[in-house]
Structure 1
Amino acid sequence: MVKNFGAKKPELSELARISDRITFLYFEHAKLSRQDSALMVSDSRGTVFVPAAIVSVLMLGPGVDVTHRAMELIGEAGMSVVWVGEYGVRQYAHGRSLNHSSRLLEAQAKLVSNKRSRVAVARKMYQMRFPDEDVSQLSMQELRGKEGSRVRRIYREQSKRTGVLWTRREYNPDDFESQTPINKALTEAHQALYGLSYSVIVAIGASAGLGFVHTGHDLAFVYDFADLYKAEISIPVAFEITAKYGNDKDIATKTRLAMRDIFTSGKLLTRMVTDLQNLLGVTEAKEANVINLWDDKLGLQKFGVQYHEIEEDND
């Protein structure tokens, strides 16, 4: 008896570039299995097929069952999987990087391991938020203060623009329902942005944990990166959804759908890839299966060669 193992594992060149993919799909109370190169998603309403190679992130909420074959396909396609708790307040796990080169990861590790270069990258990120000002001489403490003032101003401006009452940011991951509608919407909008940021970071081969501003957490760089886009994307969306739906019990779902729409219409994925490469000083991350052996004196040496022991000359 010959078993049908489905479609062959795709070559890297056959997969869609991260910047060309659908941003994310969210599922809850469904079963995910595999048919050939597609995810088969079934729930009480029926079954749909999702081509794995065109999706960046799967956000899997409560009540999702995933088969081993489905996870195999997800890993082969380089798709990130963000397992989230109720209302999206937890996230973890991802598939293998689309970019099999370690070039970006090595550049990131080098930059974050040196105090001077780490501060330089942090300033780059703050400069992106203050394009009309020179922040090159500001200390980290001064930059944090400046950013805090900017975010508070943005909240006030969005409150005035939408008519949504604003007092302060409150976030309780253990009690989502205790939050005000605007804080619920902000939580959900930020989580969607974290998920997309996470996907871009791991898909092109950088590390989610090596942050320049945030530190000590396995998602430190995700928080660094997502902060670049909150003022433009997740904060305005949260205020707009709250103004439109107020105390609607499905405000989390409506916020998530609004984030999905703006991700697609704004071509954010392409922009994120470019921004990330510029931050790390790597303008082109080559997608190639290149493996070398490191040598402290000779530089990179060929992989897959049987080397012989060097005999000492005793003459």
Structure 2
Amino acid sequence: MKPPTTTKPRTPASARRKLAAPTVAMLPRIADSLSFLYLDIVRIHQDDTGVCAEVTSERRGAETVYLPTAALSCVLLGPGTSITARALATFARHGTTVITAGSGGVRCYSAAVPESLTTTWLERQTRAWADDTRRLAVAKTMYEKRFGHGTAAEGTNLDKLRGMEGQRVKAHYQLLARQYKIGRFRRAYDPASWDTQDPVNLALSAANTCLYGIVHAAILALGCSPALGFVHNGNQQALVYDIADLYKAELTIPLAFSLHASTNPDAEARRSFRKELRLFKLLPRIVADIQQLFDPETEYDAPDPEEHLVDLWDPVAGAIPGGINHGERA
């Protein structure tokens, strides 16, 4: 006679781990994610219930803050930050891009990217990028999005479009400078002399870096390559700069000029930019714009986080199902 089987009682710690483990259906789409989170001088680690940041201050002592990992599109790690491998793995599972940034959130040194669910949009991007005619069409469409449709005449070449873009940005700077009565403004970005720059340049650099982080996360979530740009070229973030330029005149430039009298412009720029992201619904716009650029004939929504098995390439069928034994068909 077999002895009765016993079930090992579940401990509170194991129960918390089970509840904290997300399923694919629980994860939000990139278009529904919150914006970004900038952290510095903290230790980030994974415990039984989630990823948390340990913050220590003289006034409040040590505090533990849990991070909404599955609802963040990207996390910017500033100086003085440490993170454990388990926490990084959780960010990757939740589709959150982790970016190592410099002081004030300016400059991106490295990025830990999540695994994309599919290569559909990477293939469309690569086909458009590798064909000079299609690449030119995408580049012109990017300029059209900045100018407004119908602004650039038919047959306008890239050299003229670049000149038009330079004039547009310069005029925008002059208009905002007059509006805020700050005199003549000249765009300057010098990381070597960061603290000597004026508040507008400081705020603009910080806000642009946050924008780059959001765009970078959206590109990776779609499975595209940030390195294959259409206007910019020769940089691992070429496409990031391409897409970010679509929104600067609307978002980061006016924000920077509004902080011309700030005593802490870079920090205020990050906080203000985060608040405005929901208002402008930026992530859904980024996803839709990228999809429209690479496949303008079809309207798409952001991809759902569903499991996707690897296909096999076929010169006739294009793609055939993977994960099965094709030996019987031989």
Answer yes or no: same fold by TM over 0.5. Answer: yes
Shift of 1:284: 4.4
The answer for the alignment partner of 2:133 in structure 1 is 116
Shift of 1:204: 1.9
Q: TM-score, normalised by structure 2?
A: 0.86
> Partner residue of 1:43?
55
The answer to whether the Cα contact below 8 Å between 1:80 and 1:94 also exists between their aligned partners in 2 is yes
8 A contact 2:29–2:302 mirrored in 1: no
Whether the 8 Å CA contact 2:309–2:323 is kept in 1: the answer is no
User: Scaled by the length of structure 1, what TM-score is found?
Assistant: 0.90
1:160-184 deviation line (CA, Å, top 9, x unaligned): 1112233311111232113222211
Is residue 77 of structure 2 the alignment partner of residue 60 of structure 1? yes
**What amino acid is the match of 2:320?**
Q
The answer to whether the aligner puts 1:186 opposite 2:204 as a matched pair is yes
Gaps of 5+ in 2: 1-10
Match in the other structure for 2:265? 251
Q: Aligned to 2:256, which of 238, 247, 268? A: 238
Query: Is this contact kept in 2: 1:101–1:286, CA < 8 A?
Result: no
Cα deviation, 1:230-251, whole Å, max 9, x if unaligned, reads 0000000000012x41xx1x22
- AA aligned to 2:325 is Q
User: How much has 1:66 moved relative to structure 2?
Assistant: 0.5
Q: 1:51 to 1:286 in 2, by over 3 A?
A: closer
Q: 2:142 aligns with which of 112, 125, 129?
A: 125
CA distance in 1, matches of 2:86, 2:53: 13
1:100, distance to aligned residue in structure 2 (A): 0.6
Q: Root-mean-square deviation (CA), in Å? A: 2.3
Equivalent AA in structure 2 for residue 276 of structure 1: I
User: Quick one: percent identity of the two aligned structures?
Assistant: 34
SS at structure 1 position matched to 2:54 = strand
Aligned-partner SS, 2:230: coil
1:299 paired residue number: 318
- Measure the CA separation in 2 of the matches of 1:176 and 1:133: 39
Check if 1:274 corresponds to 2:288: yes
- For 1:1-315, what aligned pairs fall within 5 Å after superposition? 6-7=17-18, 9-36=21-48, 38-44=50-56, 45=60, 46-91=63-108, 92-97=110-115, 99-135=116-152, 136-242=154-260, 244-245=261-262, 248=263, 250-281=264-295, 283-284=300-301, 286-287=303-304, 288=306, 289-308=308-327
Q: Assess if the C-alpha contact under 8 Å between 1:27 and 1:59 holds in 2.
A: yes
C-alpha displacement of 1:33: 1.0
Q: CA–CA distance in 2 between the matches of 1:52 and 1:40?
A: 9
- Supply the distance in 2 between the matched residues of 1:232 and 1:72 (Cα, whole angstroms): 35
Deviation at 1:60, TM superposition (A): 0.8
Cα distance, 1:156 vs structure 2: 0.3
Give distance in 1, aligned partners of 2:183 and 2:25.
50
CA contact (8 A) 1:208 1:218 kept: yes
Once the two structures are superposed, what CA deviation does each residue of 1:268-292 show, in whole Å capped at 9, x if it has no partner?
A: 1122221121111162464441321
Q: For 2:302 and 2:200, locate their aligned partners in 1 and report how far apart those are by CA, in whole Å.
A: 39
Partners of 2:309 and 2:324 lie apart in 1 by 14
Q: 3-state SS of the aligned residue for 1:26?
A: strand
Q: Take 1:299 and 1:22, find their aligned partners in 2: how far apart are those partners?
A: 36
Name the CA shift for 1:278/1:299 in 2 (closer, same or farther; >3 Å): closer
Contact 1:37/1:51 (8 A) holds in 2: no
* SS of the residue 1:93 aligns to: strand
SS at match of 2:138: helix
CA contact (8 A) 2:173 2:185 kept: no
Q: Deviations over 1:129-165 (max 9, x none)?
A: 1215342421110110000000000000111111223
Match of 2:7 in 1: none
1:37 Cα deviation (Å)?
A: 5.2
In structure 2, C-alpha distance between the alignment counterparts of 1:284 and 1:152, rounded to whole Å: 35
Number of equivalences = 306
Q: CA deviation at 1:89?
A: 2.4
